[in-house]
């Protein structure tokens, strides 16, 4: 008995299904790993081949990645994502921490109205965007009374906020998980470490973008990268006035930190006057 004619309809269905799967995979291709489909980047004037998730192509205050995830146009400043939470004195959420605690999914957007917020932010369960409504860091101030300004182990984007130090040993951002972090149009003022990166394990890797950000006048070091891999891109940013170093890398053998400067300055006029120190530990 010739079974081929009987199998042909089933074979045709399988081939059709594979074709649809192939098309879907092609449409969802993300060449540069920035979580945005190549097709979206091409149609919105973004760069395929460059991780530009935390750029803002249309200048509307929302990063390209948020626009992609919220299905808005990254090249149209009139088409903006809707905030999932709004924080302010007269809002349902009066503190940024209360909005973070209310997150129900990754990649939600918290918009913060101008004011001074005396709190430490801890982002350990969800990827999140935290954006000042005014985008002017002089109008939205995070001023913790103790500890660090922000502790994060998950992807975090923060824009348009001044982070003040709680005292001589407070950090600006304490990044101890593994993830992608965007610090955009912020001021980090007076911290012991402006940014402290210590990935959670030997396979972990922190990626940090500083865009239009100023880090200044701290007790020790601007960026302190410890133990495991860290990649930092500074774009139109400045690090200055720290007591010891502008940048200090202290990594285990087999791990390294890399820094890319684009129209940026790391200038240390502090007591020790060191700009960059790389220290390799053996174990």
Is a pLDDT exceeding 90 seen at residue 3?
no
Distances (CA, A) of 10 to 1, 18, 22, 23: 18, 12, 18, 20
Residue 283 is predicted with a pLDDT of: 32
pTM (predicted TM-score): 0.87
- Tokens read off for 194: 């402006």
Measured between alpha carbons, how far is residue 282 from residues 178, 228, 253 in Å?
A: 22, 12, 5
- Once rounded to an integer, what is the mean pLDDT over residues 211-235? 94
Per-residue pLDDT, averaged over 213-221, amounts to 95
Query: So where are the chain's domains?
Result: 83-281
What CATH number labels 83-281?
2.160.20.10
- Residue pLDDT, tens place only, 225-276: 988 899 999 999 999 999 999 999 887 777 788 999 999 999 876 555 556 5
Helix, strand and coil in the chain, % to nearest 5: 15, 35, 50
Mean pLDDT of 104-131: 97
- The per-residue pLDDT for range 67-96, each reduced to its tens digit, is 999 999 999 999 999 999 999 999 999 999
- Residue 56: CB partners within 8 Å, gap ≥ 6? 62, 63, 64, 184
Q: What pLDDT does residue 142 have? A: 98
Of 145-149, 179-183, 278-282, minimum mean pLDDT range = 278-282
Six-digit token string for 101: 């605690």
Mean pLDDT value of segment 193-210: 94
Q: Do strands 156-159 and 121-123 pair parallel, antiparallel, or not at all (unpaired)?
A: unpaired
CA 4, 10, 12, 17: dihedral to nearest 10 degrees?
Answer: -150
Contact 172, 200 (CB under 8 A): no
CA distance 234 to 105: 29
Q: Which residues contact 28 (CB under 8 A, 6 or more apart)?
A: 37
């Amino acid at each position: 008995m010739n079974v081929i004619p009987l199998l042909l309809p089933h074979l045709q269905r399988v081939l059709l299904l594979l074709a649809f799967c192939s098309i879907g995979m092609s449409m969802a291709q993300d060449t540069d790993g920035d979580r945005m489909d190549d097709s979206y980047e091409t149609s919105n004037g973004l760069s395929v081949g460059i991780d530009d998730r935390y750029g803002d192509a249309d200048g509307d205050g929302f990063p390209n990645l948020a626009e992609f995830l919220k299905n808005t146009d990254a090249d149209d400043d009139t088409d903006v994502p809707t905030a999932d939470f709004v924080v302010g004195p007269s809002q349902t959420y009066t503190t940024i921490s209360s909005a973070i605690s209310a997150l129900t999914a990754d990649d939600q957007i918290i918009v913060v109205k101008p004011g001074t917020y005396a709190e430490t932010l801890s982002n350990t369960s969800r990827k999140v965007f935290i954006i000042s409504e005014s985008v002017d860091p002089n109008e939205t101030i995070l001023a913790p009374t103790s500890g660090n300004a922000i502790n994060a182990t998950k992807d975090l984007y923060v824009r348009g906020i001044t982070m003040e130090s709680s005292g001589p040993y407070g950090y600006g951002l304490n990044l101890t998980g593994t993830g992608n972090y965007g610090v955009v149009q912020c001021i980090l003022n007076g911290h012991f470490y402006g940014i402290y990166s210590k990935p959670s394990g030997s396979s972990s890797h922190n990626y940090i973008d500083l865009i239009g950000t100023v880090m200044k006048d701290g007790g020790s070091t601007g960026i302190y990268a410890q133990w495991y891999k860290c990649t930092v891109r500074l774009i139109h940013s400045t690090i200055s006035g720290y007591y010891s170093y502008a940048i200090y890398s202290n990594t285990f053998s087999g791990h390294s930190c890399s820094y890319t400067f684009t129209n940026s300055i790391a200038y240390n006029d502090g007591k020790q006057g060191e700009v960059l120190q790389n220290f390799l530990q053996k174990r």
